[in-house]
Amino acid sequence: MEWIYLLIAGLFEISWAIGLKFSFGFTKLVPSVLTVVCMILSFYFLALSLKNLPLGTAYAVWTGIGTIGTAILGIILFKEPFDALRILCILFIICGITGLKLLSS
């Protein structure tokens, strides 16, 4: 169950990172409120996952999920650069997350 909590935490991390862009520096009310709610939920589910997962593993996976999701959505939503090196770096992060998951007891 802790890995599911960690996945949910990572998805909320993606949400709040994207929400920061839409909040325009917390100057737009609705996106700002949604961003803060996603932040709280992200930390809550991360905390739940830490009951049974090692801190280093959980934190690395959480930030990795957020990084990958935010990079992909940045490309899709905000027309950020899309090139082979960027994709290669995302693949390295995926390899690292997979390795941490496989090495976790």
34-59, pLDDT tens digit by residue?
Answer: 999 999 999 999 999 999 999 999 99
Q: Distance between CA 23 and CA 37 in Å, rounded?
A: 13
- Whether pTM > 0.75 for this model: the answer is yes
For 24, phi then psi, to 5°, come to: 50, 60
Q: Does the pLDDT value for residue 82 go beyond 80?
A: yes
Domain that holds residue 33: 2-103
Q: Distance between CA 93 and CA 68 in Å, rounded?
A: 7
Return the pLDDT at 103. 86
Number of domains composing the chain: 1
